[in-house]
């Protein structure tokens, strides 16, 4: 007979509920009835050690946590800056938030213990400041000129610049193959810590919205407002449903990615054609829609022109989605034979800067192998393969 795990029932129930997992899904993961799971959570019976270990893995909690005498203090929920009426955060969003919180907490502790200097730009401004002034400070601090990107991949340049300045950037679109992130639910979030600010960007979006999300979250760092976001790109309607912090950070992002002096320097006739709008948008790394909103707000185009071009932008975007669907279908065929590089995916999910920081601590003997492995989601004997992805 299998050994029983004499877990603490209310801790078991808390672990499931904090993972936003239904009784039905949790029970299915260990092939038991919902009634059996309820018995365990009520203390009427106990799971086997193997069953409890499986649940711990499913809830992304340490197995030992189930044996604590009472519910432990968990990470505090991040402030929800999302538009009112947004769907509730599901398991995948909860897991990625908790994962980044764990990484950030470790970093912050290490930096504080080492008495590292605080980053001067965290909280340098507040919501009452001029968004253009905040945007200019971000551009100057990161040494970025939106008109002269060095490549056709602006988001990579922004990430590299941010991490060079001590801001950790994580990007992924999934927890694992069966647990994907929904960009309508969560586009990004920021943890505005003065020692180790951390930003997450949901990479389910295409690159232009990802870049806008990234810069929007940088604005959160500059005004020291920790929280989660969705529907980040500029919106002309239902502004009353948006949190004031989100509206401010959108303004900052628009000013940083599409500075007024740069937009006004373009020939005004270019803003009458959807093809020219698309060309300028690509040059700046933004979506046609974001550029149209910016042009309207700067009085470059009229409302009727905006509406006409917006319709064409919607058509262009639908065509883009069709092409992306074809690309994904082809990619899936390729993945059947090889699949994406697991270590590159983990590197982007962890953040390159975070990966290097943990590997340095591990190589220097400052942290145990188990902790390093847990922080990076990679087995210790695979560290060399992960490290090889840092060399570009």
pLDDT for the residue 174: 86
pLDDT band for position 319 (cuts 50, 70, 90):
confident
pLDDT per position as a tens digit, 2-18: 789 999 999 999 999 99
pLDDT per position as a tens digit, 345-370: 999 999 999 999 999 999 999 999 99
| Angle (CA) 149 168 140, round 5° | 40
pLDDT band for position 176 (cuts 50, 70, 90):
confident
pTM for the model stands at 0.89
pLDDT per position as a tens digit, 110-134: 998 888 899 999 999 999 999 999 9
Q: At what angle do helices 288-297 and 303-337 cross, to 10 degrees?
A: 160
Instruction: Compute the average pLDDT of residues 248-264.
Output: 96
Asked whether the CA dihedral 109, 110, 116, 122 is positive or negative, the reply is: negative
Distance CA 31, CA 25 (A): 10
Mean pLDDT of the chain: 91
pLDDT for the residue 236: 66
**Domains defined for the chain, CATH in brackets:** 9-62 (1.10.260.40), 74-257 (no CATH), 342-388 (no CATH)
Residue 335 or residue 228, greater confidence: 228
Residue 231 or residue 101, greater confidence: 101
Give me the percent of the chain exceeding a pLDDT of 70.
95
Integer CA distances (angstroms), 165 to 57, 120, 127, 162, 196, in order: 35, 10, 22, 5, 10
């Amino acid at each position: 007979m299998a050994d029983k795990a004499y877990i603490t029932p209310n801790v078991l129930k808390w672990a499931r509920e904090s993972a936003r997992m239904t009784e039905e899904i949790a029970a299915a993961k260990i092939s038991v009835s919902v009634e059996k799971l309820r018995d365990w959570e009520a203390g009427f019976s106990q799971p086997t050690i193997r069953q409890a270990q499986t649940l711990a893995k499913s809830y992304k909690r340490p197995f030992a946590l189930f044996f604590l005498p009472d519910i432990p203090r968990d990470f505090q929920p991040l402030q929800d800056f999302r538009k009112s009426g947004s769907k509730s955060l599901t398991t995948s969003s909860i897991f990625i938030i908790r994962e980044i919180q764990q990484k950030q907490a470790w970093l912050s502790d290490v930096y504080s213990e080492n008495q590292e200097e605080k980053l001067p730009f965290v909280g340098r401004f507040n919501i009452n400041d001029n968004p253009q002034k905040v945007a200019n400070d971000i551009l100057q601090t990161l040494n970025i000129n939106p008109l002269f990107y060095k490549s056709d991949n602006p988001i990579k340049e922004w990430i590299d610049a941010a991490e060079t300045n001590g801001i950790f950037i994580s990007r992924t679109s999934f927890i694992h193959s069966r647990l994907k992130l929904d960009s309508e639910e969560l586009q990004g979030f920021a943890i505005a810590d003065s020692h180790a600010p951390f930003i997450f960007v949901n990479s389910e979006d295409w690159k232009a919205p990802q870049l806008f999300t990234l810069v929007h979250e940088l604005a959160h760092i500059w005004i020291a407002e920790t929280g989660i976001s969705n529907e980040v790109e500029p919106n002309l309607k239902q502004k009353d449903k948006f949190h004031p912090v989100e509206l401010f950070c959108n303004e900052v992002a628009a000013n940083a990615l599409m500075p007024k002096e740069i937009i006004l320097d373009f020939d005004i006739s270019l803003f009458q054609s959807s093809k020219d709008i698309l060309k300028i948008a690509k040059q700046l790394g933004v979506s046609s829609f974001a550029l149209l909103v910016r042009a309207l707000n700067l009085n470059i185009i009229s409302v009727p022109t905006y509406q006409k071009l917006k319709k064409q932008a919607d058509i262009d975007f639908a065509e883009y989605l069709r092409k992306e669907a074809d690309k994904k279908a082809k990619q899936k065929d390729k993945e059947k034979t090889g699949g994406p590089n697991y270590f590159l995916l983990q590197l982007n999910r962890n953040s390159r800067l975070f990966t290097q920081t943990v590997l340095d601590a591990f190589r220097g003997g400052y942290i145990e192998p188990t902790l390093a492995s847990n922080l990076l989601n990679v087995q210790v004997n695979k560290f060399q393969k992960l490290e090889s992805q840092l060399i570009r």
